[in-house]
Amino acid sequence: MHKGITYNPMQEETAKYMHEDCNLILKAPTSSGKTISGEQFLFSSLEAGQKAIYLSPLKALTNEKLKAWENLPYKIRAITSDHDSKPTPIVEDLILMTTEALDSRSRGAKNWLKSVGTIVCDESHLLNSPRRGDAFEVGLTRFALLNPKARIIFLSATIPNAEELGEWLHCLNGKKTHVIDTDYQPITHEYHFHEGRENEWDFESDAIDLINKVRRQHPDEQMLIFVHTINKGHKISKQLGIPFHYSKLSKEERHNIEKAFKEKKISTIVATSTLAWGVNLPADIAFIVGAHRGPADVELYDLKQMAGRSGRYGLSSVGRVYIITRPNDTERVKEGIKKMPPITSQLPGRLYFHICSFIAREAMQKPEIEHFISKTLGGRQHKIHISEAIDFLLQYDAIREGADGNLFATNLGRAAALMYVDPIDLFYMRRSLVDQPYSPLLIAKAFADIPSLAVPSFVPKDLDDVIDMNYGQQTVLASCLYSWLKGKTLHGTATVIVPPFVMDSERWIAALAIAGVNKNYLNDVQLMITNGCDETMLEIVSLPGIGRKRAQVLKSLGITTKKQMLEREDVVSNALGRNLAQTIIAKIRNPNAIIVPFASSKPKRVTGQKKR
């Protein structure tokens, strides 16, 4: 499949093993050609009539590979969701999956998995990710237990403890594991660290000054400016007058920016990490603005990935990276970039969820759970006491013991397993909401006062309403969510915290419903969270076409109920526009009627408004 390609020294080394029944860990710098090495193993299995899996941590990376391989003479399928309402048999040859999809789709009898000859795990250092690593580890362990004949290939630029991971892979399937640790690097990275001032306004000004200075010094070079929040990206994009590449743009808009950059029609782009992980778009220079995402530190491997986008293979041997940090971050980032921390299992921190999942979704019992955990990386790196964990889950009523002595999941445990949430978090959340409070303060506290957020952290000074909780992360979420529910405009830290919470709230609401909280009440809470409003606006935000901003306009006019809308039709018409107002009034008068909205550009904007 690589006819006409001249392998570089690293690829020549990996090619020695592509027909061997072995595992492989390839630790090689960014831009060294690891993708081709991975393809060597995928294609050798495909050519032998076996299936092959390409595993990646991100949908964007999966979709990029789907496009890159679309002309191969094999049937290809991408699976990027951890659930499928209408599952179809997997008959394709090359299956591209995210790590969460593997975890979910490997449960139960999956005969197709047994015909896989090779699984290539790209960016495998994300085993270390606090939010993603446990699903990767558990999914890969389950896969290896189902199909020990398959080869496991790890690709990464940052695995300091590669030998230890090699021993783990050998434990998983019994195959000899080769570790190739190469410093072959067609591009070297030249790091420049700059310390900005602590104040947000000053820090942003320092970053802009540095970017402009470097742009003046290198007018003919292309640059990527990486930011960690959409709000920051918009600000820098506006100040510099350059495009902003981020996930909420349409696929066409992102493609147009990428195409213009590749064709050198534009020289500089502001981007979030989506571009760093999902798109092969190298530049001469990369800027990384800050090392915080809200109150949380940006992971070092995320910064390393952004830095890796500097340098053009075949055109330049050096990529320059400018990292701008606040005083408190400087040493952490400098040391981390020089020496990445070892890969450690994230499973212990998610153990209760996985035990619930084993019991609820796979009917596993204690001996089977103990055997499974012994095969994981976490089982090798930590002392994990399954008996203690099971006793803890029994105390919190996530699981129970039947008359036959077997364990089974309660509604709470089943909710945790199905919706991928921590059962202990869900216990406390349910306890706070079971009495159906409507107060924004009590709702904000309910979602924040959970054990997984019991983490000391920096509390930013830009919070509008500080809701003091026991831990910094709880304080930040409670404060931001309270401001949102009170109808305040998001800014600063709140723009980082609230949108992902709102996007994820549907999952928590579904879990709470399964766990026994009143569904009608939860529907109201979901409306309040989605629209950023309090109880007084529930009646009007439930109407089609009215979202947060339109509801706030109506409230400012003294209209918060359907009855008031009927009584003041002229005011509603002036506020919303005649066509939309007529549609909504007709719906209020006849709720069961099927009403087709007036076909104009305004209703289209209403749809977008409603999703906020």
Reported residue count of the chain is 612
Question: Which amino acid belongs to residue 255?
Answer: H
Could you read off the pLDDT of 118-163 as tens digits, one per residue? 999 999 998 998 888 999 999 999 999 999 999 999 999 889 999 9
DSSP one-letter string for 120-158: EETTGGGGG-TTTHHHHHHHHHHHHHH-TTSEEEEEES-
Could you read off the pLDDT of 544-582 as tens digits, one per residue? 889 999 999 999 999 999 999 999 999 999 999 999 999
Could you read off the pLDDT of 206-215 as tens digits, one per residue? 999 999 999 9
Side-chain half-sphere of 506: how many Cα atoms within 13 Å? 6
Which pLDDT does position 248 carry in this prediction?
83
**Is the Cβ–Cβ distance between 545 and 603 less than 8 Å?**
yes
Measured CA to CA, the distance from residue 610 to residue 530 in angstroms comes to 9
Q: What is the pTM of this model?
A: 0.87
Could you read off the pLDDT of 450-469 as tens digits, one per residue? 999 999 888 888 899 999 99
Q: Does 604 score more than 60 pLDDT? A: no
Strand partners, 289: 324
| Helices and strands (H and E) in the chain: how many | 28, 17
Sign of the CA dihedral with 279 first, then 281, 284, and 285 last:
negative
